[in-house]
A and B are shown apart, each in its own frame.
Chain A
């Protein structure tokens, strides 16, 4: 059974850096058939893809975030990390990690999400 769980600081002040960790169970980060993504959802709004990473460490980012986002992984700990700099109140959202299927390039397993609030 594949499970993903997000963790990290949930309240930040403007200009701080967000760091989130996704811990994956039941599936290896070394498996080349899948990737791992971060997706966010502001309250009451639609989903927005942020980044993905593959087993070979290949990465891709949503260019609308203007180089604020970094994705990385620690295979030995089965963790995928997200860093986002210069946080602003508009970045308040639930952040999800998800497994990326490379057959359909979609997201077949999701974490429960973590609500991050940015406020002064």
Chain B
């Protein structure tokens, strides 16, 4: 299963709403769809698992949605610390696959 993230780069300003997409090449179980945030020089950090459940320390401005092949990460109102690369990830029973990432940059 291939995960395709779009856009590759998203340029927005603090305070704006961000919508990031992750599309699977075939239908997947949403229980196994996770979103991560990675800041430059740091390890990824889990934000959302099971497509829509926030990790305990994930701010409420982050939300996940979607099913079947189309999944979305939404940041309701961007804070300066939210500019980073975001990855989606899936497990198909034998292989863990990551998308190629969306770079959320300051406009």
Could you tell me which A residues sit within 8 Å of B by CB distance? 37, 39, 46-49, 52, 60, 62-63, 96, 98, 101, 103-108, 110-113
Report whether B87 and A47 are in contact in the complex, using a CB–CB cutoff of 8 Å: yes
Q: Interface residues, chain B, CB within 8 Å of chain A?
A: 31-32, 34, 36, 42-46, 49-50, 55, 87, 89, 91, 94-101
Question: Which of A37, A104, A106 gathers most chain B CB within 10 Å?
Answer: A106
Q: Which of B45, B46, B97 has the largest number of chain A CB atoms within 10 A? A: B46
Q: Which of A49, A63, A105 has the most CB of B within 10 A?
A: A105
What residues on A are CB-neighbors of B97 within 8 Å?
A: 49
Check B44–A47 contact: CB distance below 8 A.
yes
A-B contact list, 11 entries, CB within 8 Å = A47-B44, A47-B87, A49-B95, A103-B50, A104-B50, A104-B91, A106-B32, A106-B46, A106-B49, A106-B89, A108-B55
Question: From B93, which residue of chain A is reached at the shortest CB distance?
Answer: A105
- Minimum C-beta distance from A34 to chain B (A): 13
**Cβ-defined contact, A110 with B45, below 8 A:** yes
Is A49 a contact partner of B55 (Cβ separation < 8 A)?
A: no
Say yes or no: B87 contacts A101, CB within 8 Å: no
Which B residue's beta carbon lies closest to that of A96? B43
What are the residues of chain B within 8 A of A39 when measuring CB–CB?
96
Are A105 and B32 neighbours in the complex by a CB distance under 8 Å? yes
Contact A60 B94 (CB under 8 A): yes
A106 touches B43 (CB 8 A): no
B100 — nearest CB in chain A belongs to which residue?
Answer: A46
Of the candidates A37, A47, A52, A96, the one having the most CB atoms from chain B within 10 angstroms of its own CB is: A47
Q: CA separation between A63 and B95, bound complex, in Å?
A: 9
